[in-house]
Each structure stands twice: as structure tokens, then as C-alpha cells.
Structure 1
Amino acid sequence: MDYNVLILCILLYLGITILLSVLAFRHTKTKKDYLLAGGETHPSLMALSYGSTFVSTSAIVGFGGSAAMFGMSLLWLTFCTIFVGVFIAFVVYGKRTLLVGKKLGASTFPEFIALRYQSEFIKKFSALVIIAGMPVYAAAVMIGSGRFLEQLLHIDYNLAIIIFGIITAAYVITGGIKGVLYNDAFQASIMFLGMILLFFVTYSKLGGITSAHQALTNMTSLVPESMAAKGHLGWTSMPKLGSEYWWVVVSSLVMGVGIGVLAQPQLVVRFMTLKGPREINRAVVVGGIFILVMTGVAFTVGALSNVYFQQSLGKISIAAVTDVATGKPNIDSIIPLYVRSALPSWFGYLFMMTLLSAAMSTLSGQFHVIGTSLCNDLYKNATLSSNRFSILVALAASIYLALKLPGSIIAVATAIFFGVCAATFLPAYTAALFWPRATKSGVIASMIAGLTSSILLMAFVHAKESTALGLSNLLFGKTTLVGTPWVYIDPIMISLPLSAVALITVSLLSEKVDSIYLLEKSTVNK
């Protein structure tokens, strides 16, 4: 390892980050600057920030590791993130969010929902969900970076987590959303270059596209019996319809994240930083291409890592990261191990920058949203100083969780947070934009139903969480209260419809709210 080159890369990266942070600090004079970048962000800058915040180390490392386990079936998540996470999010939701948000004078996601329904309870409830849930997602992002730095640089994992978190929080604290946007664009450029090179280097290493995919197809006979029994049919096939793995891929990984992206507070806020709806149209292409490269490459390379490890070690990917003492694999280590083992050292340095960029861009948005939810939405009359202090609180909580969460948790933690956000916020957010008949009572009922059902399903029904929590076993003497297939169906498949039904039913039975804040459709494209 050439430490001189490594140190030079890190210093250059940090130097540019500091420069952009100083620039953002100088342009952050008011609360609106800190929260919404003054509402004048360039569409390409917003699209890169949106994409790099959406795609983090949880996508590259966590979901890349999941692709190594489940195969090319995760490419359905790429399709879902582009169609739902970019096209639907930008064109359908983004324009209305921008216009209604400006009409309301909202600066945060909880404030947006609360002002639409004229409810202080909704604002505080939404803020509490974000403050309680998002640190888990932020911790997952930190874990991805920490595992990679541990593999590549052989440094202590705990130390890597702490240093990484502090650096990210520093530029969010100083520059607010402008610091986030400027650094996101810089980091997105590195991410894009790194993933393009990973794509070409991987196929070159494995003999080309045709040879690599044929080799992966030919490995079907190597699927372990334990995985085959759960529906695994090979790394180039979907799991068996209705099997445990099919439900995990479709309901948890594809639907949970693909739909949950619409109600992510840190992403919704990006739309309100633009000047007008036409800027959103211009951002769609940039956002779509970026997401395609980021997720498509990560999931493809994750699946193809099986070919490399089989050829070099005589093992599939999941076996290459199995702890000898415990017998348990840590799929979060597959992509870092693949990069360190299979690719040239110079690429390891570049990919380290790619992962650092992916993690920092996502964490910065998370810290900003947690901090503003804590300071602006729970408490009134927040100042720039109190906003910055709140981000320190978000940092401390995220680092603590990153050091405590178990292995193979990145994709799971991400899917859980996306699912909870979808069940709690998506019906209310959608109604705030498109259904004037929705009422305050209906929204409150929807949010409570979505959050409560998600928690109960995770605690007593969905096997992955109920086993880890142990609450069902403690109270009832068994891991889950139901049998198959319910133990494999992600909570979002039940909690999101329940939340929507609660909103519609209660709204129709309660008094109509004043709809003066909704805009006519004719104004959307102006």
C-alpha cells in the first residue's frame, strides 16, 4: 500500500470539502439560507444532491452485499428507484411540493405537513418520528464506510466511525443546507466516476460481459442447500415465487425502499430549495442517469463478486465473509473485501473516495434533517446557533448506534427506515398535495396507524426484526405470532395500506379542512 498516495488523496479530498464548506458558510446569512439555501438552487445541483443523498454506502455496500446473496434480482430495485424515486418523485410530487411549500412558507418536512393541516401536533409527531428513526439509517451509512475503511486501511472500525462522523457533521454545522448541496455535488462527481470505473474494471477482470454473466449463471449448482430451501434459484434468476427469499427481495428490498423513497424527509426538502417547477423538469435527466449508474453498477458488481470469489478462493461471496468462530456471514463486508482483493490498489484509493463521498453526502442530509427537526419543529424561535447544536446531538446519536448495531444490518436498517417513513408519512404527504378533502383528524389517524402497525409488525410478525428484538419471545414464548408467509412479508405491505385507509376513512367522517393552501393544477407547470 502506497501511503503517500493515500494521504495525498485524503488531503486533497478534505481540502476541497473545507473550501466548499467555507464558501457555504459565507453565503449562509439567514435562517432560510440555512434551511432551504435561499430557494434559488440550480436544478443540476439539486439533482446531484438528491441522488447522492439517496444513494449512500447503504446502497453500494449494504445492498451490494445483498445482491451478492440474492443475485441480479435486485436490479428491480434499480428500476423502481428510477421510475418511482426520480420520475414520480420529481415530476408528480416534486412540483407540487415546491409550489405548496412556497405557498405555506414551509422550511422543513414536518412544518410542510403541519401547516397544510394547521396542526402543531402533526409537526411535533412528525419531528419525533424523524428524530427517533433517522439515526438508525444514519448509523447504517456509517457502518458501510467503517467496514470499508477497516478492510482497505486496516484501521480500527470504531475509530473510523467516529472520525468520519465528525468530519461530515462539521460542514453541515457550518454551512447548513448550502454546505450540504455544495459538497453533495462534489461528492456525486466522485461517486459517478468511481462507479463507472468499477463497472469496467469488474467486467475486464472477469473476461467481459458475456463471460462474466455466463459464469454466474453456471454457478446455480453451487447455491447452498440452506439457501435453495428458502427459494434461491441462482444468481441470475428471481427467487422462487412466494418463497422466503422472494418476499425478502420483493417486499423488503424492492418495494420497501422503492416506494419509501417518496416520503424521505431529507429528499423532500430538496424540492423546496429550487426556484420553480421548470427547474424540476431540468433535474429529472441528471437525477435519473445518476441513480441508474449508482444502483445498477452496485447491484451488478455485487452479484458478480460470486464469480470472482469462486474462481480465486473456491467460495461464493457469502462464504468468503463467514466468521469461522460464529459461522455467521457478514454481507456488509463483501463489497469492501472484493475491492481490496480483486482490484488494483490505485482503484482501492479511488473507491475509498467514492464510498466516503456516498456516505458523507447521505449523512450530511440526515444530520441536517435530524437537527432541524429537533430544533425547528419541536421548539419555536430557533436560531442558527441552536440549529448547529442540534446537529451535534444527531451526530452523537448516530455514532452510538453505529457502534452498537450488529453485522449484516445495513440493508435491513435502510429498508426499515424507508418502510416506516412510507407508512407514517406517505398517505398524509400525498393527500397534502393532491386531495383537498383530507382533514387534520384523518392525517393524525393515518400517521398513528402507520407508525403503530409498523412497530407491531416488526415486533411480533416479521421474522427478521422480531427475532432480533426478542419481545415476542419474551411475552409469548415464540419468535413470531404467525406462520409463513406472513413472517417474510415486509411490514410496509400491510402498514402502508392501513395508513391510507385510516386517512381516507377518518377524513370522510370528519369536518373538511380549509383548502386555501392547495394550488390549482394549472399553476404546476408555470
Structure 2
Amino acid sequence: MTESDWQIQNIWLGLGITLAVFALYYLVALFSRQKTHDSADLYLAGRSVGPLVNSLAASSTWMSVATFLGVVALIQQLHLPFVYMWIQLILSVPLLVLLYGASLYRMGAFTSVHFVQQRYGQRAGYLAAGWMLLIMLMYMVGQFIGVAKVFEVLLGLPYTSSLIISALVITGYITIGGMKGATYNDAIQMVIMMLALLVPLAAILKAMGASGYWFPPLGYGDLTDVLLERIPTFFDLKFEPRFYLALFVALTIGTLGLPQLAQRVLTSDSIRSARRVVPWFCLWVGLMFLGTYAMGVAGVYHFALIGQDLSPEAADKTTLLLNLAYNPDWVSAFVIAGVLAAGVSTIAGLMIGVATIVGHDIVGSLRPDLSEIKRLRYGYLALAGTGIVSLLVSLNPPAFLITSIFWAFGLCATAVTPMIVLGVWSTRINIWGAMTGSAVAGLLYILLSPYVFPGLSIGSGIIANLGYSVALISVPVGFILTIAVSLLAERMLPDLAAPERARAQELVERIHGWATVTRQRYDGSRWLLILCALWLPVLVWGMMPWSP
């Protein structure tokens, strides 16, 4: 396959549509900048966003460029049943709101790292901040790579040139607008994404002869008989059950700690508004994820019919290739705008998350006497610096852009989620348990991943390369160590543990909305021991040899 097969013939058409949408993003950013007066406006949009806009913004942040490119590529190359994955991902925001979102909102937290600082102290806060920055950097790399690939198609430029142009343009508008600009732009981008995925997909399915084209997320039914004649094993579960359990552990539990989604909850104008985000989020994300799987099936069907095998690099462009094959150039150009919207919206959330951690959680804690103007200045510098660092890391990308994203999910589930969720619901968790569980489990995840010591990686082939199978070992270790070390520290260091437990009691009761503090509500250890017992067989199963 040559470059001419996947480039738009009318480059000016694609460039015009892309310039138009980016001009809109910059206008929204400039308008929002006028309303950014303090750090709460910059990082949390002044806690003033309603449920509909916030649901669109949260969905947009969640989509990522992998929705259009990387996941479709894996369906194309590996025939993976990713409908299963969508169930795990749709659970993310409902669980986030249920488990700790409302509690952090009552606390007035800016980020989950801010909560860790208040709950366990500055040392634990710096550890959580370090993990978060690494996780968001890896997540962002996948987005920048995907956006650069789209610019390749749009402008016909080499990858490096496309990466530099896209990174500078994106960093500019996000730095200007802050969270308020990012929120309203994300809502706009979600609408663009849904139109750019589902409407062209309907036209593709209709051209393929699918009678259900009028509802694209489930419109591929007519294609399955022909597809199964060509590829009888397409819908089979191709890996052992642990692969799918690891998918749940890494993606669902990992998502709970991701700062860009937590911050969407914290931008709401009330707790009730934050809860009302959930059903809307599930609707938007459900439509998009089912549409993505339908696009993957359509891609497999198309290339099976013409008898062509795609390389991993070409597979990343399956969505664009299908539109170039079945739709006019102006539709393909609009799809490119949708892919860009997916990447840009996620990058916006991640960059805001990094800026908040650096400007508020790190610089703010080191220099609490800083004026509001200087806090804003550090925040804007952090936004710009995040874009530059991500650009440099993205110069040498992985074969599948989704790989770094999956890896980030697993690390978040391992090193961040246990200390947050357990800290919200139990006063028995202390700094010794939180830091030990986070540090040991996080390092274990990195050591067993395929990117550091390939010989130690869990599984082989695609199971190892995706990286998140390690979560079946590292996540149980994270939860068990956090609980066991905390309870052990209570016994061994009673003089130090008692005052910390009393302070935790006051904080935990307050963020759950109780007016009076008691020693009974979140003080038990039985459910913590039961949780350890539930994680133990998962750990043992994860450590057993994996089949090839």
C-alpha cells in the first residue's frame, strides 16, 4: 500500500475543514481566557459546568484518538472482541462518581493528588504526583502519535513534521483557554466526533449492503455471514480467560484514578449535577464505542473481500481508508476533523491534569505563599511545557499507538487507584500502607511490563505487547500491600498511627457529608480483610504460566 492509497486527493478541502474547526477551538479558548481570573477558573472552570455540557466534555476526554485509529487497527489486525472492552470502559465514570467523585467534590479538591496530599501528607502526595505525571505522559504520547498520523493523511507530510505542527497548534489553544475553554471545546468536539464517526459509517454500511445502516452502531448484522465465510474464527474468544479479566482490572480500575475524568466531575456546579453526568455519559460513550466496533468489523469485511492484508501502520488508518474507499473526499475530510477532535479533546484533559498537578499540587505545596497571579503563571507554563515534553517523547512511537494508552491504564490501576479509593472509604489506611502499596506495586508493574525487561513480561505475543496483563499481579499486590502494611503499622507504631487515624477520621467523615465525627462509620477492618481475600486468588491466577 502506497501513500497515495490513504491520502485525500483534494488536500485543500481537508485542510479547509480542519482550519475551520481549529479556528472555532481558538475562538472558544480566547473567549474563555477572558473569564479565567484565578486558579479555580484555570483548573476547574470555576466549578460552574452543567450536566449536559460536562457529560459531553467527559465523553470527549474519554474517547481519545485510539477510538478512531488504534482500537480499529487491533480489530483489523487481531480480530479482538472489543465489544467486551467497551463494557468495562462505560463503567468508569459511574464508578468514579460513586466511589470518590462526590467525596472529593465536597472536600473542594482540585485533583485526586490533592486528596492524597490532604489524606496522607506531602510525601504521599509527591509520590502520587510522580505516578500521575508518568501515566498522563504515556497516555498523551498515544494521542499525539494519532493526531500526527492524521496530519500525515491531511498534508502528506512526513511523520516528524506532522507531529511538530499538530503539537504546536494543540498546545497553543489549550494553553490559552484553560479548563473552561477545554470543557466547552470538548463538548463541541464530542458532537463533531459522533457525527464524524456514525454518519459516514452509515454510508459505508449502506454501500456494503447492510440493511441496518440506519443505526450504525449495530448496523453490520448483514455482513456477518459473508465475513464468517472468509474468517470463521472472527468472533471467537481467542485468548484465555485471564486476558479478559486483565482487561477489566486494568481498564476499569485504572480509569478510576485518571485525573482528566476526575476533574470533569469536580468542574460540576453541584454534586447533584455531577451525578446527572453519569447517564448522559453512558449514552454518548456507548454510541461511540459500538460505532467503533462496527467500523472495525466493516474494515475487516472490506479488506477480506478485496483480499488485502494491512501492515500495522496501515491498520491504524483503517477508518480513513474505508471513508476514502466508500465516501466522497469532503466526507473523509470531515472524518479527519473528527479524529483530530478525539485526539485534541483527550490531550486537553491530560494537559489540564498535568498543569493542575504541577501548578497546584506540587508548586502550590512547595510555595504556599504564592500570589494568585503567580499560581496562574505557573499553571500556564506547565500547560506549555507538557505539550513540549509530549512532543519529544512522541518522536519515536510504538508500533500500535494504543499500546502506550493500555500501559498507562494498568499503571494507574496499580499505583494510584488503591490509595485513593481505600483512603476515601477507610480511616484504617495510613501513609505507610499507601506509600508502600503504591511504590512497590507500581515498580513491580514497570519491571514486569514488556518495555523494560522483556524476558520478565507476563504472557507472550500480543498478550505481552499490550502490557496490561501485568495488572493481574500488580493490582492485587497494590491493594493487599496497602491494607496489610496499614494494619501492621497500627500495631507496630501506635504512637504515630493514632493521631494520623484521628485526623483521617475527621477528613473522611467530612468528605462523606457527615456533620459529626464518630469512630464507627469507616473504622472497620473486616471489609478490608475480605477485600484482600478476594484479591488473593486473582494474584495467584495471574502468577501461573500463561499459554502462548
Shorter-chain TM-score: which interval? 0.7 to 0.9
Instruction: Give the match for residue 334 of structure 1.
Output: 318
SS of residue paired to 2:25: helix
Computed over aligned residues only, the root mean square deviation of the Cα atoms, in angstroms, reads 2.6
Q: 1:356 aligns with which of 323, 327, 340?
A: 340
Instruction: Give the match for residue 90 of structure 1.
Output: 97
**Structure 1 contact 76–254 (Cα < 8 Å) conserved:** no
Instruction: Give the match for residue 42 of structure 2.
Output: 34
Q: 1:440 to 1:161 in 2, by over 3 A?
A: same
SS of residue paired to 1:383: helix
Instruction: Give the match for residue 168 of structure 2.
Output: 166
Q: Which runs of 4+ in 1 moved over 6 A?
A: 481-486
Instruction: Give the match for residue 508 of structure 2.
Output: 518
Q: Distance in 1 between matches of 2:71 and 2:167?
A: 21
Instruction: Give the match for residue 426 of structure 2.
Output: 435
Q: Distance in 2 between matches of 1:131 and 1:72?
A: 30
**Structure 1 contact 35–177 (Cα < 8 Å) conserved:** yes
Q: Does 1:401 align with 2:397?
A: no
Instruction: Give the match for residue 533 of structure 2.
Output: none
**Structure 2 contact 63–342 (Cα < 8 Å) conserved:** yes
Q: Distance in 2 between matches of 1:351 and 1:487?
A: 32
Instruction: Give the match for residue 114 of structure 2.
Output: 111
Q: Distance in 1 between matches of 2:163 and 2:42?
A: 26
**Structure 2 contact 80–238 (Cα < 8 Å) conserved:** no
- The AA in structure 2 aligned to 1:305 is G
**Structure 1 contact 60–294 (Cα < 8 Å) conserved:** no
Instruction: Give the match for residue 257 of structure 2.
Output: 263
Q: Distance in 1 between matches of 2:132 and 2:458?
A: 29
SS of residue paired to 2:469: coil
Q: Distance in 1 between matches of 2:135 and 2:457?
A: 25
Instruction: Give the match for residue 44 of structure 1.
Output: 52
Instruction: Give the match for residue 425 of structure 1.
Output: 416
The alpha-carbon deviation at position 238 of structure 1 amounts to 2.1
Instruction: Give the match for residue 484 of structure 2.
Output: 505
Instruction: Give the match for residue 65 of structure 2.
Output: 57
Q: 1:285 to 1:182 in 2, by over 3 A?
A: same
Instruction: Give the match for residue 236 of structure 1.
Output: 235
- The AA in structure 1 aligned to 2:472 is M
Q: Distance in 2 between matches of 1:487 and 1:171?
A: 37
Partner deviation per Cα, 1:285-311 (whole Å, 9 max, x = no partner): 221111112211112211220111122
Q: Distance in 2 between matches of 1:159 and 1:347?
A: 25
**Structure 1 contact 50–270 (Cα < 8 Å) conserved:** yes
Instruction: Give the match for residue 287 of structure 2.
Output: 293
Q: 1:255 to 1:441 in 2, by over 3 A?
A: closer
The alpha-carbon deviation at position 415 of structure 1 amounts to 0.6
Unaligned runs of 5+ in 1: 224-232, 323-327, 459-464, 473-478
Q: Distance in 1 between matches of 2:378 and 2:262?
A: 23
Q: 1:13 aligns with which of 21, 32, 40?
A: 21
Q: Distance in 2 between matches of 1:73 and 1:384?
A: 45
**Structure 2 contact 223–301 (Cα < 8 Å) conserved:** yes
Q: 1:334 to 1:247 in 2, by over 3 A?
A: farther
Unaligned runs of 5+ in 2: 1-8, 213-218, 368-373, 491-496, 515-548
Q: Distance in 1 between matches of 2:22 and 2:409?
A: 30
- The AA in structure 2 aligned to 1:234 is T
SS of residue paired to 1:235: coil
Q: 1:156 to 1:204 in 2, by over 3 A?
A: same
Instruction: Give the match for residue 226 of structure 1.
Output: none
Q: Distance in 1 between matches of 2:428 and 2:175?
A: 40
Greater displacement, 350-359 / 127-136: 127-136
The alpha-carbon deviation at position 213 of structure 1 amounts to 3.8
The alpha-carbon deviation at position 521 of structure 1 amounts to 9.0
Instruction: Normalising by structure 1, report the TM-score.
Output: 0.84
Instruction: Give the match for residue 325 of structure 1.
Output: none
The alpha-carbon deviation at position 499 of structure 1 amounts to 0.4
Q: Distance in 2 between matches of 1:295 and 1:482?
A: 28
The alpha-carbon deviation at position 152 of structure 1 amounts to 4.4
The alpha-carbon deviation at position 123 of structure 1 amounts to 1.4
- The AA in structure 1 aligned to 2:471 is I
Greater displacement, 208-217 / 412-421: 208-217
- The AA in structure 2 aligned to 1:64 is V
Q: 1:217 to 1:147 in 2, by over 3 A?
A: farther
Q: Does 1:310 align with 2:307?
A: no
Partner deviation per Cα, 1:162-219 (whole Å, 9 max, x = no partner): 2222222112222221121121111111112112213312321221157944544544
SS of residue paired to 1:403: coil
Instruction: Give the match for residue 277 of structure 1.
Output: 271
Greater displacement, 371-380 / 41-50: 371-380
SS of residue paired to 1:490: helix
Q: 1:314 to 1:180 in 2, by over 3 A?
A: same
Instruction: Give the match for residue 230 of structure 1.
Output: none
Instruction: Give the match for residue 496 of structure 1.
Output: 475
Instruction: Give the match for residue 451 of structure 1.
Output: 442
Greater displacement, 351-360 / 214-223: 214-223
**Structure 2 contact 458–469 (Cα < 8 Å) conserved:** no
Paired-residue identity, % = 20
The alpha-carbon deviation at position 398 of structure 1 amounts to 0.8
Q: Distance in 2 between matches of 1:338 and 1:400?
A: 31
SS of residue paired to 1:491: helix
The alpha-carbon deviation at position 154 of structure 1 amounts to 2.2
Partner deviation per Cα, 1:229-277 (whole Å, 9 max, x = no partner): xxxx72223225x2xxx655x2555542233111101211221112322
Instruction: Normalising by structure 2, report the TM-score.
Output: 0.81
The alpha-carbon deviation at position 426 of structure 1 amounts to 0.9
Q: 2:350 aligns with which of 350, 354, 366?
A: 366
Partner deviation per Cα, 1:386-409 (whole Å, 9 max, x = no partner): 11111222111111122111322x
